[in-house]
Structure formats: C-alpha cells, structure tokens
Amino acid sequence: MKQIRQNCWEYRKCGREPGGKLVPELGTCPAAVDISYNGINSGKNGGRICWAVAGTYCGGKIQGTYAEKRTSCMDCAFLKLVHTDEGASKMDLKFLRFISNGKSSPYFDSMTYIHINPGERFITQGEVEDTAYIIQKGSCLVIVEKNGEFHPVEHCGEGDIVGGLGILTGEPRRAHVEAETEMEAWVLNRSQFIDISKKDPKILTFITEVVADHFESTRPTAYRTIGKYVAKDIIGRGTYSIVYKGVHESLNMPVAIKMMRHNMAMDQEFLDSFNYEAKIIAGLNHENIIRIYDVEERYRTVFIIMELLEGEGLNYLLERLKIIPTPLVVNFLIQICNGLNYAHQKGIIHRDINTDKIFILKGDQVKILGFGLACPTGTEDFFFSGNVAYMAPEQIDCSAVDPRTDIYALGIVAYEIVTGQRPFPEKDIRKLMDFHLTQDIPDPGKLVSDLPKELVTFIIKCGRINPERRYQNINEALEALQPLIKKYGLIKKHTVKESIMTNICLIYDEEQQLSLSKLLDEFSSEIHEIGAVLKVADSQ
C-alpha cells in the first residue's frame, strides 16, 4: 500500500494551507506556493521540508529563516516523523543497503568514514567533485541557490547516497548539501564506484532506479533537469527504458522523455541502436508518426525527448474491446498506411509494426511508434530482430526487406484487431516461424462472418508468404481500402505539411548592425539549405 505522506500544515492544522482559514490574514504557507525553482519544491511535498522554508507559521507566530529556526526545529515532532518516514521508505533505493545487504562489505575497506556537524555544508553548488556520500547516520538537506536566494528541494536520510549523480556525470554540483543533524557517512569516489560496478553490474540497474526516483514528481529534488527539459511523472517502464512526462523549461511545452536504462547504456550496440532510432524519427515529420524533438546525454545515459501522446496503445485498446469495430479498423488502417507511406518514401522500413507500436490519441488519431529497428529499404536483416508474431517470411529468412515487409506485418495487425486473436499459434517459436514461412495468413472471415469482403481481401493479400503476391507498395494497399472509405463515410485525409514559425528578438546597438547583418546572412544560408525560411523585420 502506498504510504500517505503529510505536509506540515496537515500535521499541525495551522490553517495556512492553500485555501486554509488563516490564508486571508497571514497568506498561504510559503512551503506550498514557492515556484522559484521550477515549482518542484512546492505543493504536495513542500510541507515536508517546512523547517527549511522561511516564513512558515508555527507556535502561534510566523517563523524566520532556516538558519534562524534550525535549532528549535530539530526538536519538532513533525521533523522527527519525517525522519522516521524517510528512514523507512524506499528501502530498495537505499545505497547503503544495496552494497552491504545488512552485512559487512569489502567495499567499505577502501572508503573513508567521516563525521559531519549539524549545519555543516559538505557539498557546494557549482563545484566539480568526484565524490558521493553514503549516509550511515543522520540526515541532510539539499538546497538550491538561485539569484542569491536559497531553496530547499530535497531531504536525505540514513542509507541514502548524496551526490551520487555527480560521480556519474562529472558535472558541477547542482545544489548545496548541509547536515540537518550530526551525520556519519562513507565517502565514495568515482574510481571506487566504477570498481564496484565492474564487480557487481547490478549496480547499474540500481542507479537507473535512483535516477528514476529523483525524476518523479512525488518528491522535491534538485536533480530533475535534463538539458532544457524538466522530468516529472513516470508514465511507462520497459525492459530497455523508462518514459517520463516532462516539460521544456523555457517554452513550457509538454514532452515525453525516454531514458535508456543504465545497464543498456553500457552496451555499445544497444546504445547505437537507441541513438539510431532518435535520428531516424527526427527526420520524419508526419501526423501519423511520433515526433522527436531532441536527444540529451546526462547521468551516464541517453534521453530521447519526444512528442507527448495522450491516449492508449492499440494493444491496450484491443485488450479492452476484445474486437475493434470494423469502421474504426478501417480508419486505423488508413492512418497507419499514410504514416508508413511517408516513411517508405523517405527510404525507411519500420520492420517492427505490431499492436504495441501503434498508439491511438483522443479523436482516434494514430501515431506509429518504435522505429528502433527501422532500416533503409533493401537492407538484409542479419540480426533476426523484431516480434516473431508479426514477422514477414523474408525477415525470418534474414533476406532483404522492403515496403512489402511492413505490409505483411500490417496484415497481421489487421487480422488481430478484427478477430481478437493472432493468425498463428505462438506457444512454440519454431512452429510459429514455420507457419510464417509455409502458410499464408488465414481467412479472418471464417472467425468473423460479417466482415466486408474488401477488408477480408485486404488482410489476406497483405499476409501472403510470397512478397510478389502482396500489395507492392502502400499506395496499392490504400487503393484497396477506397471502397471501405466510401462505405463507412471516411474521408481520406490529405496530409498538409504544417509550417511552424519561431520568433527571435535580437536587441543590439547601431554599431553592432554590420556584424549582425553578416551573421544573419550566414545563418540565412544555412536555414535555406534545410528548407526553412528566415524573415527579418526591423523595429525600434
């Protein structure tokens, strides 16, 4: 059961919570409304670190700064409750527990054991260090300094690792860290961490979960920024990656952030594939294909910044409905075909079309995902990669792939969503491959008697063993769907390529105009090469 964590105003009933009875007189508690550091140290969790926020209300009066009230707050019953909660929570993310497992560990032999006094700052924002601190006893506060002001953003207790991301990245510290109580800690440097990870590769999986925990919005933290982006809730977990909801910090644009798991980031072949997927999709701009905005490397792993999608995967929709209604099937097939047609015209074969890779937005708009196995047309598939249940015979044979490979997989998808099951038994992978190699896709009309003949024909022709007997390109497949488009009143959308305008304001003095004009001329030439247009309008 998820533990319910109280804010200080919930515990003390002070009346300064948002909408509280004392708000008209004293204002809302600053721990609940401070948005000076991305808003991540406010709201639901701001009251967990109330003792570090100036101007809170306690003991019948408004308190001073953290420094002024530190001593009195150390005896606070709420602070002791928080320390107890933090000590007992997220035990699977306690680094001390991970490396010792409750016993002595040889790793400690090479570490230094130190004592830290209350109020002592042992990590300084902006400094570059290769050390982290594993808390044996006591607790500390993470404080971000911004524009001369201090903003508490995280509390760490026994078992936690502090500064651990710094030894991963080598980047300047993002916050100060000060002891709240007397502390005892182990000092771990980068070389020791690398040695531990070599001896126990599971530490990389552990670090992924630590980073994921920092990125979640359920607790304040200084470590939630990835370049220009701020990560928030986890919205998906997979074998190879974790996906977060995020936002572009300056543009306030919602995004999805796909983080590769650290154990995979150490696999150069998989890392190359991950980066390849980003580059492939970044070059595709179509309404039925997910957009890629950016790629960032942080925390010893890679992040793909993508369009944020609201809806559900076709696999989940099928699980919920069991069988997709025919008009909706036709609608989905048209959009998948449009997206694939665009990719094929760019010379890209998806090579992994299945119900997991089709996402349905609100309003039934389709987005094709998962271009990690995409390749140029004509590529010989030596790696036998993809989902075997949807694999074309030429993929199983490791022969060259082309648009007809995606058409075969589309036929399997169509069969599955109209019948509620896949065409071939799947318990034995070898037998499944034999079915793909020796049998055309069966007639879905034998399972669903009222299917339109045009849809039955479409599915059967897509799923022929011999590529020469399938539709030879997506345009042919779309043409076969035309009678159904008319029958169900579906108007085939003609994709209009949208143009996006970005305004840039340059402020300069007259003596800078000549140099600026030269730079703009160079910039305009580069802009023109990629097919965009630069417009300049002077104003005072």
Q: Express each pLDDT in 100-158 by its tens digit.
A: 655 556 667 778 899 999 889 999 988 888 888 988 888 888 887 877 777 777 778 88
What is residue 242's three-state secondary structure? strand
More confident residue, 2 or 363: 363
The pair phi, psi for residue 313, each rounded to 5°, is -70, 150
Complete domains list, the chain, with CATH:
8-88 (no CATH), 91-215 (2.60.120.10), 225-307 (3.30.200.20), 312-487 (1.10.510.10), 500-540 (no CATH)
Min mean pLDDT across 148-157, 299-308, 371-380, 521-530 is at 521-530
Residues 6+ apart with CB under 8 A from 432: 388, 389, 424, 425, 426
Burial grade of 529 (CB within 10 A; 0-12, 13-18, 19 or more): exposed
Query: Among 306, 196, 286, 190, which residue's Cα sits nearest to residue 241?
Result: 306
Tens digit of pLDDT for each residue in 282-297? 788 899 999 988 888 7
Residue 80: is its pLDDT beyond 70?
Answer: yes
Specify the residue for token string 């020469």. 468
In angstroms, the CA 84 to CA 77 distance is 11
Residue 153 · residue 220 · CB < 8 Å: yes
| Dist CA 185 CA 194 (whole Å) | 19
Q: What is the pLDDT of residue 531?
A: 57
Q: Is the pLDDT of residue 521 over 90?
A: no
DSSP for 210-226, please give it. Answer: HHHHHHSTTS--S--EE
pLDDT by residue (tens digit) across 398-423? 888 999 999 999 999 999 999 999 99
pLDDT tens profile 233-262: 778 777 777 888 888 877 888 999 988 877
Confidence label for 169 from pLDDT (cuts 50, 70 and 90): low
- Residue 96: its pLDDT value, please? 67
- How much is the pTM? 0.63
**Bigger pLDDT: 366 vs 387:** 366
Give the bridge partners for 253, in sequence order: 248
Q: Using 50, 70 and 90 to split pLDDT, how confident is the model at 365? A: very high
Of 266, 256, 269, residue with least CA distance to 229:
256
Per the model's pLDDT, the better-predicted residue between 10 and 41 turns out to be 10
b/e code 443-476 from CB counts within 10 Å (16+ = b):
ebbeeeeebbebbbebbbbbbbbebeebbebbee
DSSP secondary structure letter of residue 20: -
Residue range 364-368: average pLDDT? 95
Give yes or no for residue 220 having a pLDDT over 80.
no
Question: Can you give the pLDDT at residue 434?
Answer: 93
Distance from C-alpha of 43 to C-alpha of 533, rounded to nearest angstrom: 43
More confident call, 102 vs 378: 378
Nearest to 31 by CA among 3, 4, 58: 58
Planar angle of CA 349, 291, 525, nearest 5 degrees: 95
The pLDDT value recorded for residue 41 is 42
Percent of the chain with pLDDT over 70: 73
How buried is residue 251: exposed, middle or buried, by Cβ count under 10 Å (0-12/13-18/19+)?
Answer: exposed
Q: Six-digit token pair at 404? A: 């007809």
Looking at per-residue pLDDT, the higher value among 504 and 466 belongs to 466
